[in-house]
Amino acid sequence: MKPRRFFIETWGCQMNELDSQRMNSQLMGEGILPTRDARQADIILLNSCSVREKAAHKAYSRLGEYRKLKRSRPHLMLGFCGCVAQQEGEKALARLPDLDFVVGPGRIGELAQIVAARTKGRRMVATGFPDARVRNYQLDAISRETTYKGMVTIIEGCDKKCTFCIVPSTRGPEQSRPLDDILREVRHLLAYGFVEIELLGQTVNHWRDPSTGDDFAVLLDRVAALPGLARLRFITSYPRDFTPAMIEQVGRHPNICPYLHLPVQSGSDRILRRMGRGYTVDTYRALAVRLRMTRADLALSTDLIVGFPGETEDDFAATMRLVEEMRFSQVFAFKYSPRPGTAAPRLPETAVPRPIADQRLKRLFALQEGIQQELNAELVGSSQEVLITGWGKEAGSQTGRTACHRIVHFEHDDPPAALGTLTRVRIEHALPHSLRGCRVTPPQTRLAAGAEAGNKAVAGRRELHPLSTP
Ligand code: SF4
């Protein structure tokens, strides 16, 4: 009998990406195999993201495309997963009579049972946030996309109430995983030859061990000290939650990458208050200065929302000034879009007209593009450690990431180094969004067999952005 096949389409942040990896391994554990072609699949899962505008509309329209496949393949099972699925719940099953199940992010760990129940005939909605959701992680039950970079969730959900953000309702209340579980998972990955670990959470630096109360500084220290870990990243940090002890750890461990995503959202105190962020531009600035004093090579990236309700030209000018001053290595900027159930749409003062928000966003991108080009140009002539992560578009080239997360293209040797190899590249050209150079040393770290192939089982279109929003 031919094995069943599944296809997962993933939208959104690293959390969703990791959730897809968890879904992937659960299905593989049931003997269902991945396919890169949705038309060959017996199970299609849409892992949706609700951060952007018209998220539900986009998700239903995508599901509509998959439903067409059901006409010629009536046995095809269609699952709606992720943050929009959490929001829509029962409504989705009622609206789409041929939708087979709905699974929210808090119930991903139950996918295998849900598929089994549907195979027996039951349509299901599994949403909500069980108390034990972070204690039920099975370390082997994640089908990693590569064999060199592993993402590890340390905290789920968010208790903050930023007025524009839907995350607290789609990912539920905050829950931290125990320190020992996290260390066990990281050790497990290192034993398999992983060299880079990325700790994930909507407010990653708000993690606390549920029994001892140890904070993120302790966790950073313990994880960074694990033998064999070449690179440690974490995303996304909430500015208000950064403590001096955490900054100290960033300075103390050279394997903590000098790249930090620290969303500021606006350069205007008035707008930050309306967003309910709980910090001012000055406190953000002071934090950035302290971090840069601790690590001179630190690259900071940020999120910005343009056109938040009531944003005046003066508020926007303050954001532009902050961007000029901070010289972020990357800015993820978006036009404000009202999300269901959030407080911002109810704020007094009218929304910023769309043409004005469009124009502000364009000005912001133009400013940032120039800054990025200058920052990249400063690296020309330097030698950078690069983790090789892929093949370049041009024949004979490979790509990788510096510790400060810049993309580097370089010509490969013959034979090329395996993906997951750490190497050194001398930077020769700066492009607006990447660097080009040539390798100056042979590979330093080789991974276990199969590293090049990676596990590409999580197939499908990706629209990735950083965890964003904290
Ligand atoms: S923006 Fe970040 S910190 Fe604020 S509510 Fe959303 S996830 Fe939480």
Q: In sequence order, what DSSP letters do the residues of 308-347 get, joined into one string?
A: -TT--HHHHHHHHHHHHHH--SEEEEEE----TT-SGGGS
- pLDDT band, very low/low/confident/very high, at 464 (cuts 50, 70, 90): very low
| pLDDT of 1 higher than 70 | yes
Q: What is the pLDDT of residues 416-426, one digit of tens each?
A: 889 999 999 99
Residues 381-386 have a mean pLDDT of 96
Is the minimum distance from the CB of 109 to ligand 1 under 6 angstroms? no
Residues 253-280 have a mean pLDDT of 97
Task: Determine the pLDDT at residue 91.
Answer: 94
Long-range contacts of 296-299 (CB under 8 A, 24+ apart): 297/258, 297/403, 297/404, 298/250, 298/258, 298/259, 298/260, 298/404, 299/258, 299/259, 299/260, 299/329, 299/330, 299/375, 299/404, 299/405, 299/406
Most confident of 142-146, 223-227, 419-423, 449-453: 223-227
Nearest residue (by CA) to ligand 1, atom 7, is: 470
The DSSP code for 166 is -
Name 331's bridge partners: 302
Is the minimum distance from the CB of 150 to ligand 1 under 6 angstroms? no
Number of Cα atoms under 13 Å in the Cβ half of residue 59: 32
The C-alpha R_g of the chain, in whole angstroms, comes to: 22
- pLDDT band, very low/low/confident/very high, at 135 (cuts 50, 70, 90): low
Is the minimum distance from the CB of 232 to ligand 1 under 6 angstroms? no
Going by C-beta distance under 8 Å and a sequence separation of 6 or more, which residues neighbour residue 390? 398, 399, 400, 419
Distance 277 CA to ligand 1 centre (A): 9
Distance 161 CA to ligand 1 centre (A): 6
Number of Cα atoms under 13 Å in the Cβ half of residue 81: 33
Residues 294-307 have a mean pLDDT of 96
Which residue from 156, 165, 334 has its CB within 8 A of the most atoms of ligand 1, so it is best to mutate? 165
What is the C-alpha to C-alpha distance for residues 187 and 179, in angstroms, rounded to an integer? Answer: 12
Is the minimum distance from the CB of 35 to ligand 1 under 6 angstroms? no
What is the C-alpha to C-alpha distance for residues 348 and 346, in angstroms, rounded to an integer? Answer: 6
Distance 318 CA to ligand 1 centre (A): 22
Task: Determine the pLDDT at residue 470.
Answer: 53
Q: Are 38 and 3 in contact (CB under 8 A)?
A: no
Long-range contacts of 410-416 (CB under 8 A, 24+ apart): 410/386, 410/436, 410/437, 410/438, 410/439, 411/438, 411/439, 412/439, 413/439, 413/442
What is the C-alpha to C-alpha distance for residues 266 and 302, in angstroms, rounded to an integer? Answer: 10
Task: Determine the pLDDT at residue 56.
Answer: 86
| pLDDT of 448 higher than 50 | no
Nearest residue (by CA) to ligand 1, atom 2, is: 470
- pLDDT band, very low/low/confident/very high, at 467 (cuts 50, 70, 90): very low
Is the minimum distance from the CB of 158 to ligand 1 under 6 angstroms? yes
Is the minimum distance from the CB of 263 to ligand 1 under 6 angstroms? no
> Rounded to the nearest 5 degrees, what angle is found at the Cα of 407, between the Cα atoms of 468 and 388?
110
Task: Determine the pLDDT at residue 54.
Answer: 80
- pLDDT band, very low/low/confident/very high, at 6 (cuts 50, 70, 90): very high
pTM > 0.85: yes
Is the minimum distance from the CB of 234 to ligand 1 under 6 angstroms? no
Task: Determine the pLDDT at residue 465.
Answer: 43
Task: Determine the pLDDT at residue 145.
Answer: 74
Distance 12 CA to ligand 1 centre (A): 15
Task: Determine the pLDDT at residue 143.
Answer: 65
What is the C-alpha to C-alpha distance for residues 388 and 398, in angstroms, rounded to an integer? Answer: 7
Distance 266 CA to ligand 1 centre (A): 14
Distance 162 CA to ligand 1 centre (A): 6
The DSSP code for 353 is P
Is the minimum distance from the CB of 15 to ligand 1 under 6 angstroms? no
- CB atoms closer than 10 angstroms to residue 463: 13
Residue 91 token pair:
């409504």
- Express as a percent the part of the chain with pLDDT over 90: 74
Residues 51-78 have a mean pLDDT of 90
Residues 94-110 have a mean pLDDT of 93
Q: Which residue has the higher pLDDT, 133 or 150?
A: 150
Residues 359-378 have a mean pLDDT of 96
What is the C-alpha to C-alpha distance for residues 382 and 429, in angstroms, rounded to an integer? Answer: 11
What is the rounded average pLDDT for all residues in the chain?
A: 89
What is the C-alpha to C-alpha distance for residues 376 and 427, in angstroms, rounded to an integer? Answer: 9
- Express as a percent the part of the chain with pLDDT over 70: 91
User: Of 365, 361, 383, 385, whose CA–CA distance to 373 is shortest?
Assistant: 365
Distance 68 CA to ligand 1 centre (A): 36
Task: Report which ligand 1 atom has the smallest distance to the Cα of 276.
Answer: 4
Is the minimum distance from the CB of 249 to ligand 1 under 6 angstroms? no
Q: Are 28 and 20 in contact (CB under 8 A)?
A: no
> Rounded to the nearest 5 degrees, what angle is found at the Cα of 197, between the Cα atoms of 193 and 198?
155
